Amino acid sequence: MKIKKIFGQEIFEYTGCIHIHTEHSFDARGKVEDIIEDAKNAGLDYIAIADHLSMQAKKSLGKSKFFTICGYEMNDSKKNNHYLTFHTDQVLSPSLSAKEYVKNIAENNGVGFIAHPFEKRITKKYRKFEWTDWSITDFDGIEIWNFLSQWTGTINFLNLVFRILFPYFSITKPPSKNLKKWDEFNLKGFQKSAIGGIDVHANRYSWGPIGFTLFPHKQLFQTIRTTIWLREKLNPNNYETIILTALKNGNSFIVNHKRQHSRNFYCGIISKTTKKFALPGENISLAEGELFLSVYTPQDCTIKIIHDGNKIQSEYINKLSIPITEAGFYRVEVYLGLYGWIFSNPIYVTENNKTK
The whole-angstrom separation of Cα 117 and Cα 178 is 7
Tell me the CA end-to-end span of the chain in Å, nearest whole number: 34
Tell me the whole-structure pTM to 2 decimals: 0.96
- Res 340 pLDDT > 70: yes
The whole-angstrom separation of Cα 272 and Cα 284 is 12
Q: pLDDT at position 193, please? A: 98
Mean pLDDT of 171-179: 98
The whole-angstrom separation of Cα 220 and Cα 170 is 13
- Res 88 pLDDT > 90: yes
Q: pLDDT at position 125, please? A: 82
Tens digit of pLDDT for each residue in 217-243?
999 999 999 999 999 999 999 999 999
Across 16-30, 194-208, 243-257, least confident range: 194-208
Residue 282 burial (CB count, 10 A): 18
Helix, strand, coil in percent for the chain, rounding step 5 = 20, 40, 40
Question: What are the C-alpha distances in Å from 46 to residues 1, 67, 83, 111, 227?
Answer: 9, 5, 20, 17, 9
CB neighbour list of residue 219: distance below 8 Å, 6 or more residues apart: none
Tens digit of pLDDT for each residue in 289-334?
999 999 999 999 999 999 999 999 999 999 999 999 999 999 999 9
- 356 pLDDT tier (thresholds 50, 70, 90): very low
Q: pLDDT at position 207, please? A: 79
Q: pLDDT at position 24, please? A: 97
Q: pLDDT at position 353, please? A: 60
Tens digit of pLDDT for each residue in 27-57?
999 999 999 999 999 999 999 999 999 999 9
- 355 pLDDT tier (thresholds 50, 70, 90): very low
- Res 354 pLDDT > 80: no
Among 179, 190, 176, 75, smallest CA distance to 133 is for 75
Tens digit of pLDDT for each residue in 70-85?
999 999 999 999 999 9
Mean pLDDT of the chain: 96
Q: pLDDT at position 124, please? A: 83
Mean pLDDT of 175-197: 98
Tens digit of pLDDT for each residue in 243-265?
999 999 999 999 999 999 999 99
